Amino acid sequence: MPETRASGTLEVTLPSDTEILLRRTFDAPRHLVFEALTKPEYVRRWWCWQPGATMPVCDIDFRVGGTYRYVTRSADGEVAFNGVFQEITPPERYVHTEVFEMFPDNPTLVTVTLEERGGKTYYSSLTAARDKATRDLIASSGMEVGAAACLDLVEQIARELRK
């Protein structure tokens, strides 16, 4: 049975009036964390982290200019996100827009960076919002709970891929 205990905890900071920075360390090699974060068969497992939730849509065209769309469904209803990949440098970095479809006029830019040191991967995800109000809305949404749960699952998947 794969180890499911998380090796790191999520750190959330607000480095500027328009940014949210997530940081976490994974006990897994960078290339496997990158794979877990970007391949549809793995994204389906970690994006849809709530018990009983399903992910009927997980479309990813992982190339510069390619798009993605994620739809999750739970007892609370349906939630959808979409965006466009702006930059991809495997396995160290990717940049994409992110649109929460309930608020289509508030896109953000997300930069994910992975650094490997000593077999561990240091993850950072910087979300840049258009303005402070959007950043504050995201930061106050409880997103850190979902992000922490998702990243625990990313680590679990990366560990499974290592075996």
Asked whether residue 115 is assigned to any structural domain, the reply reads yes
47-56, 91-100, 113-122: least confident range: 47-56
* 62 found inside a domain: no
CATH of the domain at 108: 3.30.530.20
Q: Is 152 inside any structural domain?
A: yes
CA distance 51 to 31: 28
Q: How confident is residue 49, by pLDDT bands cut at 50, 70 and 90?
A: confident
pLDDT in the model for residue 2? 40
Domain with 45, as residue range(s), is 11-50+88-158
Residue 53 · residue 150 · CB < 8 Å: no
pLDDT at 6: 65
Q: Say how many residues make up the chain.
A: 163
Q: What is the pLDDT of residue 1?
A: 32
Number of structural domains, the chain? Answer: 1
The answer, yes or no, to whether residue 15 has pLDDT greater than 70, is: yes
Whether 135 is in a domain gets the answer yes
Does 100 map to a domain?
yes
**Distance, first Cα to last Cα, the chain:** 11
Check pLDDT > 80 for residue 39: yes
Residue 3's pLDDT is what?
45
Residue 153 belongs to some domain of the structure: yes
In a domain? residue 154: yes
128: Cα within 13 Å, side-chain hemisphere: 7
Q: Is position 120 within any domain?
A: yes
What span, in angstroms and rounded, lies between the C-alpha atoms of 124 and 131?
Answer: 21
Q: Which pLDDT value is given to residue 163? A: 84
